[in-house]
A = this chain, B = another copy of it.
């Protein structure tokens, strides 16, 4: 007999409760942190759930990597086999991407497990299929980690504000692009320089496309809009512009009008109009100028924030780290405890709510404001010519400022709200004018 593996004896009159069995798909930055917490915080998790959580398997692509603190016997490359087991209560999916994540989640649900996922791309592309499978299985599908890392935003939208009418959700939901824009603003560097910095710090991938072109933010916008407006919105419904075209001139123009440039995910419900058809949903991701006084303007570095407006609650903001292994793991663990508790009570949390089924607007129909900087000929009648173009497109000008004279004369124009289609048509017409040498900056203005 050896003393090295002695286990504490359970008290004889309190038989230990059987654990809930957890399988994890993926073991990258987030997954290894989740595994570490499940193992290290076992006592707290047991107390909070009411049962121990036992990690019984982790599916990875290659099993050869060293994973400190994780029992190598837990590691498998057979993901299908793992989710096909009938003794798994809870499955955590942190692989990301569409396949094989979707097939594995569907298999897990079919086998009766509840699922916690951080997979924004999959939810935005095909959430409906997952929600339907969860409902048929009577199992939970939770995904707090899919949007804005550790910031609790899914649960507040799905539950806390479910008795309210949300009219707008505006988020800074991509930390990489917020870091880049913040550095362009505060350090006066170019997009390329700021991107290189972000890559050196590990904030941006070697291929930064998903972040800087707004794909990541668009997926999150689709998820937020679906929850806020009880309407199915997919990534394909989201109008998207990235930040690769943002120049120091744009940043300087924003400064001049007391604004800062942010990549925003904007989800809006159109106001009710008497006699009109359904209220519409618009969902878009693009850089925009927002006033420095707006709560989102102060969100610096790689932080995320989501600003929600609703009929009764008014203006709310949620702020925190939007990415990273630890914050994302916190969100996954919170969901894990909740679905574990649900399972012990034979309950399920809220499923998809898409009853409102509102139509989604094209970008052309969205009401917004434009900021324009134009280099113009300095001659009599230039402003009249330009103003005429705005008038022809039914776009009303809020402010015009003229900087300099002679060859370098510059006009800075901010419009009132107008349909995006009219605004972009105005810009196209301005570019064709002889008196306009160059349109140096065009950007939407939001958050007034």
Contact = CB atoms under 8 A, between A and B. Distances in A.
B346 A347 contact: yes
Contacts of A41: 163, 165
A33 B312 contact: yes
A359 interface: no
Interface stretch (A44-52, A196-204, A258-266, A391-399): A44-52
Interface residues of A, number: 59
Contacts of A312: 33, 37, 150, 326-327, 329-330, 333
B356 A330 contact: no
A332 interface: yes
Interface string A218-241: 000000000000100000000000
A10 B229 CA distance: 26
A347 B355 CA distance: 23
Query: How many copies of this chain are found per oligomer?
Result: 2
Interface in A287-303: 295, 298
Contacts of A45: 163
A330 B310 contact: yes
A204 B337 CA distance: 40
A164 B317 contact: no
A301 to B, nearest CB: 11
Interface in A349-374: 350, 353, 355-356
28 contacts: A44-B356, A48-B162, A48-B163, A48-B355, A144-B160, A150-B164, A150-B312, A152-B160, A152-B161, A160-B331, A161-B330, A162-B334, A163-B334, A163-B335, A163-B337, A164-B330, A310-B330, A312-B329, A313-B321, A313-B326, A313-B331, A314-B321, A314-B326, A316-B318, A317-B317, A317-B318, A318-B319, A346-B347
Interface of A: 33, 37, 41, 44-45, 47-48, 144, 149-152, 155-156, 159-165, 230, 295, 298, 310-321, 324, 326-327, 329-338, 341-342, 345-348, 350, 353, 355-356
Given A47-B355, A150-B310, 12 more contacts: A37-B163, A37-B312, A150-B312, A151-B313, A151-B316, A162-B338, A163-B336, A295-B319, A310-B330, A312-B333, A342-B347, A346-B347
